[in-house]
Amino acid sequence: MCGIVGYVGEREAVPVLIKGLEHLEYRGYDSAGIACLSHDRSKFFMIKEKGKLAELKAQLNGVPPQMRLGIGHTRWATHGEPSKINAHPHLGRDSRIALVHNGIVENYAELKSELERKGHRFKSKTDTEVAAHLIEYYYRGDLCEALRKAVRRMKGFFAFVAISHDEPNRLFACKRSNPLVIGVGHNEHFVASDVSALLPYTKRVIYLDDDELVELTPDSVRVTQLQKGTKIQKKVSEINWNVEQAQKGGFPHFMLKEIYEQPRVLSETILERIDDKGNIHFELLPKSTVKKLQKIKKIHIVSCGTAYHAGLVANYMMGKYVRLPIEATVSSEFRYEDPIVGPGDLVVLITQSGETADTLAALRLAKEKKALTLAIVNVVGSTIAREADLVIYTQAGPEIGVASTKAYIAQLGTLALFTFYLARLRKTIASQEYRELIGEFRKLPKSAEQVLKQVDDIDRCARKHFHRKNFLYLGRGYNYPTALEGALKLKEISYAHAHGYAAGEMKHGPIALIDEEQLVICIAPQSKTYDKMISNIEEIKARNGLVMAIGTYGSKALSKLADYLFLIPNTPEIFSPILSVITLQVFAYKIAVLNHRDVDQPRNLAKSVTVE
Ligand code: M6R
């Protein structure tokens, strides 16, 4: 959470920082701020504002020219309320250094008391201001040294970017747990929380690893080990994302754009990995892993939020086709519950950002316990992608809307692909069935386009129900997680209460909610439990509840019962969550827009949850 950016080079720093923050705003939008070194190097030029970046931009008139070094921050508040005072950057006691931070200094209270005893006074309630004072306390003209000394005193995790008065052409950054990536340019360098902020300027990047410190000048990059100061050689990687992918492209919101991108995402995730003979290839899975994958005894799937829902779907997929014990767990539970994991187990971590704190901790725990780890990740070069034994990228491209849509579809597609890959490796699927499923799999991008043709009908339905405060979602089997995901999508962007339930549980409680005011969204495509869903819907109708249903073309019983019916093309049950969730994403989007919600940046949320 929080987006940080830094620049040193020949351009005006302010526009570079602001553009960088625009791309990072999805990481937090409680406040924003920048600090640059003034032309005459006499002081920091600093502005900060509470609220979104737009508030900061409104204050930019009259910015002095020729500032070539600066840092910027967009905040998701942890310590101290969202306010101008608590906004970053923060300065040291004598304003000799300026600092932006993503993370938490856990022992900040202790450090603050120590510094207060030495006469330091603090303006804000943040842990970052304490860090800034501590760094400056150790500062004797060499910011690298000061950072090393200060960080030794800190507990917790951080990505810091700092500048000093006395080192006018130098930008310093270091990290532990939270991400930082360096952008390599010509006579200029950048640093940011993720690559999206760098894309307008360069595609050449260096990923910083934990406990590394970098010193950037316009024409040099020097990476050293944070504690010992030993020099580290780093590799420059090329990013294949482009800047257009991270722009709205004429859509009113990123979320809508990303929903419409889903047919293409499915093609890139699935079709490009299946050859003409129907064989599946994962470009980054080395041949040597085949034997290990053949021998695994248990699969754990670990993830958070929407990615957890993808994990639940994978539970059904792998349960049916791989025939191994499987357990899907949310990362925050997995990491603290002493899971029974060991050699011979495969731990699959699913994550869009590749930076989610709990998922990263779960990965490290699984590695400690000697399990084989596989990351299914969207953001290339992210920490989880780099630390896992194996990685499969979901290839959704940059997802900017806080509510995950195309990344979810890409996760589901990738998980289905991996399921078939494993099933074939382990010989748990018959050749004929495999061929048929691959044939159906190839149809998904077109089918997703079909689903999107119903957007206007979904809009009409949303207009009738956007005022409601309670929504119930029901599904079974593969589409029980779809019910959970539909409810999550709606609540996170519309702020209405929405609850997903396994339809078979309806009579064990939720049925008490049903009356003529309750809208129940029933996910009922053709499946082995279709008739059971129909019985559930009959029970809802018998109590005068309103039903919005998602079914497969030609589902007669459903069309007679449902008040609103949205259809997906015929597809095997394993693929139905990929198609049925699209309608729910559009429905959530429409309800949120009709309620004038901030769809791409819903309150209190951030795109990457890098604190637990
Ligand atoms: O980056 P990750 O996939 O690890 O993020 C996990 C969740 O934080 C994320 O899916 C969150 O639930 C989304 N806002 C849901 O739309």
**Exposure string (b/e) for 137-167, b if CB count within 10 Å is 16 or more?**
bbbeebbbebbbebbebbebbbbbbbbbbeb
Q: What is the pLDDT of residues 370-416, one digit of tens each?
A: 999 999 999 988 889 999 999 999 999 989 999 999 999 999 999 99
Question: How far apart, in whole angstroms, are the C-alpha atoms of residue 104 and residue 108?
Answer: 9
For the Cβ of 363 lying below 6 angstroms from any atom of ligand 1, the answer is no
Q: Is the CB–ligand 1 distance for residue 358 below 6 Å?
A: no
311: left (phi over 0), alpha (psi -120 to 50) or beta: alpha
Number of independent structural domains in the chain: 3
Range 575-596 average pLDDT = 98
Query: Do residue 51 and residue 133 come from a single domain?
Result: yes
The band of 42, judged by pLDDT with boundaries at 50, 70 and 90, is: confident
Specify the ligand 1 atom closest to the Cα of 306.
10
Tens digit of each residue's pLDDT (9 = 90 or more) over 221-232: 999 999 889 999
Is the shortest distance between the CB of 305 and ligand 1 below 6 Å?
yes
Task: Based on the fold, state whether residues 126 and 181 are members of the same structural domain.
Answer: yes
Instruction: Judge if 543 and 394 occupy the same domain.
Output: no
Mutation choice for ligand 1 from 1, 304, 408, 608, CB with most ligand atoms inside 8 A: 304
458 and 542 in a single domain? The answer is yes
Both 547 and 513 in one domain: the answer is yes
Selection from 332, 36, 20 nearest residue 182 by Cα: 20
CA atoms within 13 A on the CB side of 137: 20
* 307 C-beta closer than 6 A to ligand 1: yes
Q: Please count the other Cβ atoms lying within 10 Å of the Cβ belonging to residue 208.
A: 23
Q: Is the CB of 131 under 6 A from ligand 1?
A: no
Atom index in ligand 1 nearest the CA of residue 609 equals 8
Sequential DSSP letters for 26-80: GG--SEEEEEEE-TTSSSEEEEEEESSHHHHHTT-TT--S---EEEEEEE--SSS
H/E element, 501? strand 497-502
**308 plus 418 within the same structural domain:** yes
Sequence length of the chain is: 612
Measured from the Cα of 356, ligand 1's closest atom is 4
Q: Say if residue 141 is in the same domain as residue 73.
A: yes
Lowest-pLDDT choice from 90-94, 137-141, 302-306, 381-385: 381-385
| Residue among 89, 104, 92, 93 nearest 46 (CA) | 89
- Assess whether pLDDT exceeds 80 at residue 203: yes
CA of 313 to the centre of ligand 1 (A): 15
State the average pLDDT over residues 312-321: 97
pLDDT score at 126: 94
pLDDT of residue 607: 83
Q: What is the CATH number of the domain that holds 549?
A: 3.40.50.10490
Tell me how far the alpha carbon of residue 607 lies from the centroid of ligand 1, in angstroms: 7
Per residue in 210-252, pLDDT (tens digit) is 999 999 999 999 999 998 899 999 999 998 877 777 778 889 9
Give the domain extent around 528: 451-594
Question: Over the stretch 462-488, which tens digit does the pLDDT of each residue have?
Answer: 999 999 999 999 999 999 999 999 999
Q: Considering the entire predicted model, what is its pTM?
A: 0.84
